[in-house]
Structures are given as C-alpha cells and as structure tokens.
Amino acid sequence: MILMRPATLTDLPQIEQLARASGPMVCTLPVSREHLQQKISHSLASLRADVLQPAEESYFFVLEESQSGQLLGTSALIAQAGYHEPFYAYRNDVRVHSSRTLGVHNRLHMLTLAHDLTDHTQLCSFYIAPTLRPGLWPRLLSLGRLLFIAQHPQRFSPDLVALIPGVVDGAGRSPFWEQVGRKFFNIDYNQVEYYHGTRNKTFLAELMPHHPLYVSLLADEAQAVLGQVHPDAGLQFDLLVDDGFEADDYIEIFDAGPVVTARRDLLQSWQHSKLAQLGALGESNPASARPCLLLNTRLEAFRATVATITPPEAGRLTLSAELAEALLIGVGDEVRWLPLPAQ
Amino acid sequence: MMFMRPVRRDDLAAITQLAAKTGVGVTSLPLNEERLLARIDRAIATWEEKLPLAEQGYLFVLEDSEQQRVVGISAIEAAVGLNDPWYNYRVGTLVHASKELNVYSQMPTLFLSNDHTGYSELCTLFLDPDYRHSKNGQLLSRCRFLFMAAFRERFAAKVIAEMRGFSDEQGRSPFWEGLGRHFFAIDFSDADYLTGVGQKSFIAELMPKHPLYVDFLTEETRAVIGKVHPHTAPARAILENEGLKYEGYVDIFDGGPTLEAYVAEIRAIRDSRVLPIRLGEPEGSGPVYLLSNDRFQGFRSLLASASLHEKHIVVTAQVAQALQLAAGDTLRAVPLFAREQ
C-alpha cells in the first residue's frame, strides 16, 4: 500500500537518495545531508507546535510503500514563503505606452521583481519516483498537501504559491539563466539553484536586477521559455493547474518557470473535499466504488492514501480494516476525503 | 571673404537648399520650409529680445561675401528643455555584488535623464559640401564661442553639443534597431524627423522609463553607444579641441554622444581678449585668429591674420570693414586653434 506521511529522521538516507534522483530541478531538495536533516527536524517541530496562524513552520511529507518501507516520493509545504527573507518572483507586467501623434499603441511586456508572494503558503519539494508517475499517486502526493491545508487551515495562508521548474536543456543549461541571471551572477545555473535551496537569501537581493526588465530586449531564446514548463515537470504543473492554480501572473527569477498561485478556497480540492466519519469496517461495493483521496485528521500521525471505495452516505464511510489501520483510524474517527477522477 | 553673421529672413531660400543636402540625422534642419521660416523668425525675435529664455535661440549663417551666398549655418539654443523635456540616456554603472558568493559584477546601465535641462546648446551645424575647405568649418563652429564670450549673461553655466550618432550608408542606426524600434515601431528617420519638427510628446509617451541594462542589448547596439557618425567626426574634433568632453550622456535615438563643458572653461571663451584696433599689416607668420566685433544684433565674425600686442591688435582695413569696425573700436580675438601643450 502507498501511503503519504510526514518525514521522520530515520527517513534521512532514503530522502538523500531521492534528492539525488530528483536532480537540480527540485532546488528545495538539495543534495545536502545537513539541509535535509534540518528540513525533517523543522517539519517535526512544526507538526508538534500549537499553531494559531502561519509563521515559520514547514511540513515535509514522503510517499512510502508500506510493505517494503521504500520511499518513492516527497512533497512539502512552507507556511509562509518569505517568512525570514522575502520571496522573489518576476511579475508579468504589461504597460501600455501610447502616442496619439503616431497612432501607436504599444503593449510593453515587462518583468518586475516582486515580493508580492511573500505571505503565501508555498508548495515545494515535489518529487515522485518514475514508477509511480502513472496512476493516481502523483495526485496523492501533490493534492494530499492541499487537503492537509484544508484540514488544518489556521496553519496556512489563504493564498498559495508553487514554483514549477522552467526549461532546462539536456546539458543542464537554462536559456533564461544564460541570457538574464548570468549577467548579474556569473555563476552556473546549477550552482545558483543550489544556493537558492540552501542559503540565506540576501544574495538574491544583492545580485538581482531591481529594475524591471523589458522582455522585447531579451534574447530570443530567453523570451521563448518565459512561463514554459520543464519537460519533467509537466505532471506537477498539470495537477496544480487542473485544481485551479493560475499560471500567467508570475515567473521564476532564475529559469523563468511558471510560478502558479491560487486562493485556496477557489481550488477544486478545497471545494469538493469533505469530512466523513468512519462508520464501519468492511469491503466496498465494486459497483459504487470509485477512487478517493483519504486523509486522517492528525498532525504528527498524519496519513493519507488513495483507495477505491464507496463514497460516504449520510456522512458515514465504510473502509476495510487494512485501510483503517494504514490511516491510523478507528470507527468513529473523522476522515477527510476527496473523490478523484476515474483513471 | 567668408564671414559669420546673424540670420535674416531673406536667407530662407539658401537655408532650405542647405537642408536638402543634409540627409537623415541632422535633426534640427528638417526639410520643411514652414519650420525653417519659423526657426529664422525665432532667431530674429531672440535678437530683438522679445522672447522668454525658454524660447531663445541664435542662428548664424556663413556668407561668402564675393558670391553673396549663404553656405553654412550654426546655432546656439540659450536654454534647452524648459518647455518640452530634454531627454538623453546617462550611461551609468550599477554594481551587483555578494561577498557571500564571491560574486561581483559591474553592469553598464542606461538611465533616462533630463539632467541637461537649462543648459545652452550648440546645434544645427551644417556646411555646404562644396565649401568644406579653408577652415570654413572651424569658423562656422567656433564663432559661436566668441558670441557667448561677449554675452555670457545670456547663456547657462554649461553648454552641450549633441553629436550625431552612428548610422550606416543605408541610414540604418544600430542603436535604434536594438532599442528604440522596440518601443516606437517606426523608422529611425521618422522619429528623427518628428523630433526635428517639434513633435516630441511621442517620446515621453513611448519611451521606456526604467533603467536599461546594456548587457541585454545586442553587441551591434552596444558597440555604437557614444559613437559618432563618420561625417560628424570633424565637428567633434573641433569641439574637443575647445575643451568639450563626452561625460556619459548619449542620444536616446541614435546613441550619439553629447559633449559638454562649463562655458567659463571653454578655451576660445576663456582665452579670448578684447582689444582696440589699429589698422595695418599684421606681422608675417603668426597664427590665424578668430575675430568678432562683440556686437549683439550686428555680430560679425571671421578668420584672419592679426598681430596681438599687449594693448592693441593690428588688422587690415579690409578685415576691420568686414567686421563693421573702425580704428580704435574694440574687437574680440583668440587664436583659432588651441596651442599644443
């Protein structure tokens, strides 16, 4: 059975392997034991803390094959994207310059460095092993976070953001980085993303261009990748956009990947997930069963999975004993559930 | 004899002919008779002291006294940018550095500026190609300094001269192609023309207002920042010989450099001397002098030999007459060229 749960310190060696497998694309999963350990500890502390409103917490989840104990994916939440340091993105601005004399009406596309998203809750560190990419497991790993937010809303901001990796070629070259960021930093793209994931962010403030960039003056290859998704990140992009995230307002400052944003209460998952009570243990009727995402309502003992079950009737749910055990729930406990599209 | 004098209304035909010969890029001589006449009238009104500072401009012509032809033109604007904003780009530097990452970069940056607001401007310099000899170009350009020396109070503390920027034989400006076109979507020649006929509001409406990182421009565009058109090189040499310098300001359309100086420090102004005339033959092989009669409305200036003494200057009767001066009257004199150090 595939389960989503918070990461623990014993997961560290496997998480390091996943970080390596995910490559530089996922900058918030750096290949650094020290950082990953810190990330796990911080998540545990956040889960244990009594939180009334979002501040410096973060939450780190893994996807586990329960029988073998093998970890097959990670995802995370940062309660406030820019709690300690501002969260930067380029805002897509269109300014209209017009001249009556010339009968000219120019729409100038500009990229303005913005910290607008600083207060948003950030979804990050998404990586799923290639074997699990088909099917509903990516949905568990990604949307499971959104349902965790729905279950514990006071820990998170009403606004959400996620950085989707931008276009990088087979040689690890980012056209946008080469034409823009490199002029200011003069270091390799891999290096800057590593720093981004591991260091104090003041270097961004010191080196980034503060003045808006005129898109028409950028080299063609940079313009071509604005808001474009890395070939391997299409899955996570599609999941979030399908749920209701907006993709056109911001792009990432290093690789121009889309920065997707959403008001959480406008998301499909938020609007369609509900609480139900575990009424009885038993098997589901195949005729009425459909895939559903299931979460318990716990924090440190958070568990989530996808299973094909009969949706609740009158707010009561029947689950198999195996499923209830995996979710660490008993009859009478609450379960949050979301119907998923049939595959 | 070649001499400089203020423009008259009946110079219009000659000036229109000159305007037809300039080609693209000499912004202030548009081939538009109405505009040229208005320019002449403005100069006359300036000399008649009928205009506020914001509108004052002096227009001088070079006359061939034998042919009785006007063959050159040069001008001074008393103070730019007091009605319509005066734009250029300042080429500045932004340093981005991070000790933590051991990274340091200097980014040349173009800042849109109105810094030269209120400065006096040397402009509208053009000499008929057939007359480009015998130091006529020198006279055409430098006589303006003698005028300014005589009437310092009518001008600003600083003076500028915009040098035409680089464009190729097809009239293509790399700076325009790399920058202006993105924002204006019109040809360089059209933008230039509109500026010359005073339709400048489109600049403010369409210009990019934010600083531009030079590194984002193409190499071809970067290469011509601060570069003059080949035809302008001689004019530039004259002004630099007088002490004007490029200090990082360029034209927003063609990237040509603006030269600037404090009026008090311009050689011809600083070193010129006012002396009473004695008629006679100047001594043999002295330098050529730039001479003027120091009059406002009746200004005359020319090049001639002269003998400079401590308390008088010797010039021929012909020279004195051309300057409309008699023995005992004062004239202003300075060696045409700055002496080599």
pLDDT average, residue stretch A306-320? 93
Best probe of the A interface among B183, B190, B197, B220, by most A CBs < 10 A, is B183
**pLDDT at position B199:** 66
- A4's CB contacts (< 8 A; 6+ apart) are A61, A62, A63, A64, A75, A140, A141, A144, A302, A303, A304, A305
> What pLDDT is stored for residue B290 in this prediction?
97
Inter-chain contact A185–B183, Cβ cutoff 8 Å?
Answer: no
> A123-166: per-residue pLDDT in tens?
999 999 999 999 899 999 999 999 999 999 999 999 999 999 99
> For chain A, what percent of residues have pLDDT higher than 70?
98
- Report how far apart, in Å, the C-alpha atoms of B301 and of each of A246, B60, B237 are: 72, 10, 21
pLDDT for the residue B341: 41
- Among the partner residues A104, A106, A184, nearest to B96 by beta-carbon distance: A184
**pLDDT reported for residue A141:** 95
Residue A84 forms contact with B (CB below 8 Å):
no
Residues in chain B: 341
Nearest to A185 among B103, B199, B202 (CB): B103
Closest by Cβ to B182, choosing from A102, A207, A216 = A216
CB within 8 Å of B108: residues ≥ 6 apart: B91, B92, B93, B213, B214, B215
Query: Of B95, B59, B98, B104, which Cα lies nearest the Cα of B78?
Result: B59
Q: What is the pLDDT of residues A322-337, one digit of tens each?
A: 999 999 999 999 999 9
Inter-chain residue contact B212 with A217, CB threshold 8 Å: yes
Longest dimension (CA), chain B: 77
Residue B192 Cα, gap to closest chain A Cα (Å)? 13
Q: Exactly one of B229, B231, B309, B312 is catalytic; which is it?
A: B229
Q: Is B308 helix (H, G, I), strand (E, B) or coil?
A: strand
Contact A200 B202 (CB under 8 A): no
Q: How far apart are CA B40 and CA B141, in angstroms?
A: 18
* A84 part of the active site: no
The confidence score (pLDDT) of residue B340 equals 53
Put simply, the answer to whether B201 touches A99 (Cβ < 8 Å) is: yes
Task: Let me know if A153 is exposed, middle or buried by CB neighbors in 10 A (0-12, 13-18, 19+).
Answer: middle
Nearest to A5 by CA among A20, A19, A15: A15
- Taking CB atoms within 8 Å and a gap of at least 24, the contacts of B321-326 are B322/B1, B322/B3, B322/B65, B323/B3, B323/B291, B323/B292, B323/B293, B324/B293, B324/B295, B324/B298, B324/B300, B325/B277, B325/B293, B326/B277
Q: What percent of chain A has pLDDT over 90?
A: 73
Helix residue ranges per DSSP H, chain B: 12-20, 33-47, 136-150, 174-175, 181-184, 188-196, 201-206, 219-223, 233-241, 267-270, 317-322
Hey, are the CB atoms on A97 and B101 less than 8 Å from each other? no
Q: What is the pLDDT of residue B205?
A: 74
Best CA proximity match to A94, nearest among A78, A110, A81, A72 = A110
Between the alpha carbon of residue A68 and those of residues A8, A294, A320, the distances in Å are: 16, 21, 21
A106: nearest CB among B100, B107, B185 = B185
pLDDT at residue A270, as a whole number: 95
* Contacts B208 to A, Cβ<8 Å: 108, 214
Decide if A107 touches B, using CB distance below 8 A: no
DSSP string, B42-64: HHHHHHTT-S-GGG-EEEEEEEE
Query: Mean of the pLDDT values across residues A74-83?
Result: 94
Residue-by-residue pLDDT tens, chain B, 341 positions:
999 999 999 999 999 999 888 765 566 777 888 989 999 999 999 999 999 999 999 999 999 999 999 999 999 999 999 988 898 999 999 888 888 778 888 889 999 999 999 999 999 999 999 999 999 999 999 999 999 999 999 999 999 999 989 998 888 999 999 998 888 778 888 887 777 666 666 776 777 888 999 999 999 999 999 999 998 898 899 999 999 999 999 998 899 999 999 999 999 999 999 999 999 999 877 889 999 999 999 999 999 999 999 999 999 999 999 999 999 999 999 999 887 54
Q: How many CB atoms lie within 10 A of CB A69?
A: 10
Chain B residues near residue A211 by CB distance under 8 angstroms = 109, 210-211, 213
Instruction: Collapse the DSSP code of A338 into the 3-class scheme (helix H, G, I; strand E, B; otherwise coil) and give the result.
Output: strand
The tokens describing A234, both together, are 């299409």
Give CA–CA dist A296/A334, Å, rounded. Answer: 7
